[in-house]
Amino acid sequence: MASDLKGKKIAFLATDGFEQVELIEPRKALDDAGASTVVIAPKGGKIRGWKHTEWGDEVKVDKSLSDANPQDYDALVLPGGVINPDSLRIDPKAVNFVRQFVSSGKTVAAICHGPWTLLEAGVLSGKKVTSWLSLKTDLKNAGATWVDQEVVIDGQFITSRNPNDIPAFNRAIIDSVSRGVHQHASV
């Protein structure tokens, strides 16, 4: 397993307020599987996580959003937390990055509130997804079919509900990237 993802480059798009375990644990699993992970954020320096009910640890930003090219990555991971995706979905550069990434057909994984940015990019119509329960109506209104499962895979999209689903979420990402899932996407 340690080399399943050797040579694969995986982007994590996040900003202040990301749910700490939803970035840290998938990143560790992907690194352990041999991938090279890159944290991309609208600003350089560091971003601060959210840990349950309070601010958490800082994570180094590897690349600012303005310097990131979606074509450079084999997969995109969108951690949740309420603050993080709510900030990203009103950032035109972040939404454009996500839209461009989706159009590549490569794996896009979002957990918890992470699908908000996908929703804003207009890429979920006709897709089967899951998320944090409070996004159910938003996702249905965007044309997605929402289900209550620990992990949902629909073509290039992998979605999960919450931190309890991280082990299944991680396995699904590793499997998808190792198989080189590449769906034709039209956005």
Name the token pair of 38: 């890159």
SS3 state at 94:
helix
In a domain, 4, yes or no: no
52 has catalytic annotation: no
For residue 131, tell me if it sits in a domain: yes
pLDDT at 2: 52
Distance between CA 167 and CA 159 in Å, rounded?
12
Given this model, what pLDDT does residue 3 score?
A: 58
Which residues, at least 6 apart from 154, have a Cβ–Cβ distance to it below 8 Å? 127, 128, 129
Q: How far apart are CA 108 and CA 51, in angstroms?
A: 24
CA 59 to chain centre: 16
d(CA 160, CA 168): 8
Query: Which residue segment(s) compose the domain that 55 sits in?
Result: 9-179
- 36 is a domain residue: yes
Name the token pair of 159: 């979605």
Q: In this structure, is residue 175 part of a structural domain?
A: yes
**Residue 182: active-site member:** no
Beta-ladder partners of 128: 145
Q: What is the 3-state secondary structure (H, E, C) of 147-170?
A: CCCCEEEECCEEEECCHHHHHHHH
| 3 located within any domain | no
- Domain assignment present for 122: yes
| Residue owning tokens 């550069």 | 93
Distances (CA, A) of 26 to 37, 94, 170: 10, 20, 6
Is residue 158 within 8 A of residue 14, CB to CB? The reply is no
Whether 186 maps to a domain, the answer reads no
| Residue 177 burial (C-beta neighbours within 10 Å; 0-12, 13-18, 19+) | buried
Q: What is the pLDDT of residue 46?
A: 98
Q: For residue range 108-151, what is the model confidence (pLDDT) as tens digits?
A: 999 999 999 999 999 999 999 999 999 999 999 999 999 999 99
The count of domains in the chain is: 1
* Confidence (pTM): 0.95
Q: In the chain, which residues have pLDDT < 50?
A: 1, 184-187
Q: Which of 52, 112, 182, 184 is catalytic?
A: 112
Given 52, 113, 182, 184, which residue is catalytic? 113
Position 181 scores a pLDDT of: 62
Q: Is residue 167 part of a domain?
A: yes
> Which burial class, exposed, middle or buried, applies to 45 when counting CB atoms under 10 A from its CB (0-12, 13-18, 19+)?
exposed
- Any idea what the CATH number is for the domain that residue 63 is in? 3.40.50.880
| pLDDT score for 52 | 85
CB atoms within 10 A of CB 67: 9
